[in-house]
Structure 1
Amino acid sequence: MTTMPTAADLLPLLPELVLVGGAFALLMLDLFLGESKRIVTHLLAIGLLLAAAWLAAAGVGGHGTVLNGMFVRDPMSDVLKAGSCLLTALALVYAWPFLRQRGLYQGEVAVLMLFAVAGMMLLISAGNLVMVYLGLEMLALCSYALVAIDRDSPLASEAAIKYFVLGSLSSGLLLYGLSLLYGATGTLDLALLRGAIAASPETTLLLTGTVFAIAGIAFKFGAAPFHMWVPDTYQGAPTPITLFIGSAPELASFALAFRLLEGGVGPLDDRWRLLIAGLAVASLVVGNLIALMQTNLKRMLAYSAVSHIGFVFLGFAGGNAGGYAAAMFYVIVYAIMSAAAFGAIIVLSNQGFEADEIDDFKGLNARSPWLAAMVLCVMFSLAGIPPFLGFWAKLAVLRAAIDGGMLWLAIVGIVCAVIGCFYYLRVVKVMYFDEPVGELVPRRDRPLQVAFAANALALLVLGLFWNPLMTWCQQAFSG
């Protein structure tokens, strides 16, 4: 017999309760604000995200398992929740001038992002298959609406439809896999699921459910060969929305993979590690080779995202606490780099000019040496060139793969990292060695330029002082 939770029992849910309560309050407040005062909703949303990030990072409310095991708050969840909130706050900073200039900004943008983060936080702390699906769909439904925010753009509408259809397919695959796992074990609780698998002999039903669950995870990550939604969605969505869906949700996808694979079907790791290794190879090869051929910067970044998911999977394939810490470190680093890369497009865009072609960056150094230097920091970090942060992330997952007995996988990763350098350095080449073409006038929005500079310079500063972040990730799995 279950008992009703008390206020003390709900303390681990404090960041989520604050965020959801604040989101409903902002939704009501926006009804009474005119167009000229919409900045109030926007700033309050950013403040709310920063407050939720602090509550998570500081451990306010304490750790524990509540709601009859459905919700688990632990050190790993605190790190990922703080990261998700901070990245979404950064996305809102980038979104304001871009969407306002195009007449696309509505109060719903900030509120949808808040509810999407709430879904991420539930997914990150899921201790039950029902909570996994609840958090996932809450995130997905908000993301579909955000991609379709520009209703007058045929490209955005097409991207939203493709994202919705393929996202629904991936949700169906995942749900089918979860139902098979429940059918094989008779429990929805992830901890009990793991115990039942360890105690029972292998069954075809169990393995089939694991395969479908991994397919659903790969869809949500955008890993090859389940990546078909990524390039069209990234290109078609307004750039600040692309920045959001390409950064913060990756942290929730990592939590989804960890909770299901290690927390749920961990005793089958000798099987699913090979599947993850295969997805890593496919993502690295497909992502890097197709990115080489792109002329549109957003599509190039989309295919590079597929290759970066391959690197995340290197850590998972390595297994053990060190591999998971390396994978979490990588996904956090990638989210920061992705935000900076799309931030560069936003800073250089103006009304009627999207700056989303690689050729749009020609001669940028001659026009704005400071912005060219910031974009260089972003591209060098994405390429994994020392001492930038991306180098240490790649090194961590490669080491995890080797420690996990997968030297061949690490070699594939190294080769693909070298290939990836080419298309990132091509952007640097057009900025510094090509003649300017057309009129490229960077935005004069001071907050936007400060945010982009801080985002880009963080890749260099954190690259020089990366140990605290890596230690934080390792401590999340030390228990």
Structure 2
Amino acid sequence: MNVLENTHILQAPEVPWLSLLPILVVFGGAVVSVLVEAFVPAKGRRPVQLILSLITIVAAIVMVTFRLTEVLEYPMSLPEYIEDPLTVTTQGILLIIGLLAVLVVADRSELGDGAFAAQPADRPGSVDEDLSNEKGYQRTEIFTLILFSLGGMMVFPAANSLVALFIALEVMSLPLYVMVATARRRRQLSQEGALKYFILGAFASAFLLMGGALLYGATGTLSLSMMARVLPQSPALLFGLVGCLLVLVGLLFKVGAAPFHAWTPDVYQGAPTPITGFMAAAVKVAAFAAMVRLYLTLIAPLEWDLSPVLVAVVVLTLLVGTFVGLVQSDIKRLFAYSSIAHAGFVLIGLFAVTATSSASVLFYLLVYGVSTIGAFGAIALVRQVDTAGNVYGEATALANWAGLGRKAPGLAVAMLIFLLSFAGIPLTGGFVGKFLVFADGIEGGLLWLVVLGLACSAVTAFYYFRLVVLMFFTEPCENTAVVRSEGYSYVAVVLAAAVTVLLGVFPGPVLELLSNVVVLLP
């Protein structure tokens, strides 16, 4: 017998390099960014890191545009990775948000200070921290962490395997845990928020892993596509249902849905303001897109078994985000509860399971993400001052925003646009987004949830307009000033405001593009 006849011939797997190109560009830029930190002199790192990050994201946007034209005709499904219009469109939205976020992160005021600690490892209030500030030392690894986190987000909605989903979740989350702890001021609050985020995030990951284990036990596979075929006929269907709920818990934590929202206000308040904006916008887009795939592929066929739990989550999310937000006196905590309420609105569109659910959810997330980056970019520019004119940290107390319309009318008008969009007022993208998800809710038979959503939307408009009244119809606060900066934040704010208005006045082209968004079903 010929020995070669019994030898198994190993074949190299086919790797879809073109499909992975946008992700490879982002991760490649992140790796180069690590090398910049290692080899470029300290004084030259910041401009190099900024240029590298912008080039990386713009190149990835070009790659996504190229892939979208291909995917509309030839979507691709592999055991670990799916490239369909949902994946590529979500990646494009994430890159747009990432581009705006990098501009806000890079900005520094006329005093030469940024939002980040000179040396995050310095103990708050220590001599080492004072020395780092005196020398004007500024770490730049934030750009590296953003690129790694953004790369994980881009994998998240494409995952066709629970293993890939978990790895993408951790690659997305671990840099965020670090970045939350790097605020230049109120360091202890920043580190406390990071610790809470890390601990609760670990619990959420554990829920996702346990759910994946139960689903694997019920179906014998880790592939979402295969699970969708096997689970409805599985003799261990009960274990599969519990597994679905546990995996969903891990994703609901990331979008800040109640009752998994406890981390949101503390982390939003403690994190550096540019990171709060990036996290509030990009994480929601990635997690909701992954939830769209998971829900439409695996959970929707089991909807009757899980509907009481899902409806309870939507109701609780809407009520918590709406009514707890009414009593907030800090603008970052106010936007934290606003984000919880917005998660409830998006969940209505997702759970409706109509032919346009995916497109409506993505449009809503695009508008919300861009407006959120702009709003937090504006917050980073409003600072506290004393009677001698010395400038301190962000003026996040709502009372400090009194009379901003007289001190900085352009910035106040931009914030007005973002608030109107959050409230769902016509001629803004937020109105179109809410109209789409509520229309899907009615079509999907969730009329009473839509009514509740409309009522909550009206109530949330109250705390948005409370800020509008403070800015334009109240005497200016003497302890507040809008600082001059290098201009990056102003560019991001202006672009975000323009996009928010354009998506409200001319939503047609974007809606036409999103109408092609479909989810590959098994």
Identify which of 188, 197, 201 aligns with 2:231. 197
2:437 alignment counterpart: 397
Counterpart secondary structure, 1:387: coil
Contact (CA 8 Å) 2:314, 2:344: kept in 1 or not?
yes
Confirm whether residue 340 of structure 1 aligns to residue 374 of structure 2: yes
1:32 Cα deviation after fit? 2.2
Identify which of 145, 148, 158 aligns with 1:115. 148
CA distance in 2, matches of 1:122, 1:478: 15
Higher alpha-carbon Rg: 2
CA distance in 1, matches of 2:491, 2:76: 40
1:91 alignment counterpart: 101
Task: State the structure with bigger RCO (CA 8 A, min sep 6), 1 or 2.
Answer: 2
1:60 Cα deviation after fit? 6.8
Counterpart secondary structure, 2:478: coil
1:161 Cα deviation after fit? 0.3
Amino acid at match of 1:186: G
1:6 Cα deviation after fit? 4.3
2:478 alignment counterpart: 438
Structure 1: stretches of 5+ with no match in the other structure: none
Amino acid at match of 2:378: A
Contact (CA 8 Å) 1:274, 1:317: kept in 2 or not?
no
Counterpart secondary structure, 2:480: coil
Identify which of 4, 13, 16 aligns with 2:12. 4
**Cα distance change of structure 1 residues 60 and 333 upon mapping to structure 2, 3 Å threshold:** closer
**Cα distance change of structure 1 residues 91 and 425 upon mapping to structure 2, 3 Å threshold:** same
Query: Percent sequence identity over matched residues?
Result: 34
TM (norm. structure 1) is: 0.95
Counterpart secondary structure, 2:393: coil
Deviation sequence 1:73-123 (CA, Å, 0-9, x none): 111111111111121121110111249614634221011110101111111
CA distance in 1, matches of 2:246, 2:284: 20
1:62 Cα deviation after fit? 4.5
1:58 Cα deviation after fit? 2.6
Amino acid at match of 2:169: L
Contact (CA 8 Å) 1:333, 1:389: kept in 2 or not?
yes
Amino acid at match of 1:27: V
**Cα distance change of structure 1 residues 293 and 59 upon mapping to structure 2, 3 Å threshold:** same
Equivalent positions of 1:16-31 (< 5 A) are 16-31=23-38
Equivalent positions of 1:236-385 (< 5 A) are 236-349=270-383, 351-385=391-425
CA distance in 1, matches of 2:68, 2:453: 39
Contact (CA 8 Å) 2:84, 2:518: kept in 1 or not?
no
1:33 Cα deviation after fit? 2.2
Identify which of 159, 164, 171 aligns with 1:138. 171
1:246 Cα deviation after fit? 0.6
Contact (CA 8 Å) 1:11, 1:62: kept in 2 or not?
no
1:151 Cα deviation after fit? 7.9
CA distance in 1, matches of 2:311, 2:66: 35
Contact (CA 8 Å) 2:183, 2:270: kept in 1 or not?
no
TM (norm. structure 2) is: 0.87
**Cα distance change of structure 1 residues 293 and 198 upon mapping to structure 2, 3 Å threshold:** same
CA distance in 1, matches of 2:51, 2:395: 27
**Farther off after superposition, 188-197 or 90-99:** 90-99
1:439 Cα deviation after fit? 4.0
1:47 alignment counterpart: 55
1:202 Cα deviation after fit? 6.8
**Cα distance change of structure 1 residues 59 and 293 upon mapping to structure 2, 3 Å threshold:** same
Structure 2: stretches of 5+ with no match in the other structure: 1-7, 118-137, 385-390
1:450 alignment counterpart: 491
1:421 Cα deviation after fit? 0.4
Amino acid at match of 1:143: L
Amino acid at match of 2:443: D
Number of aligned pairs?
Answer: 477
CA distance in 2, matches of 1:410, 1:201: 36
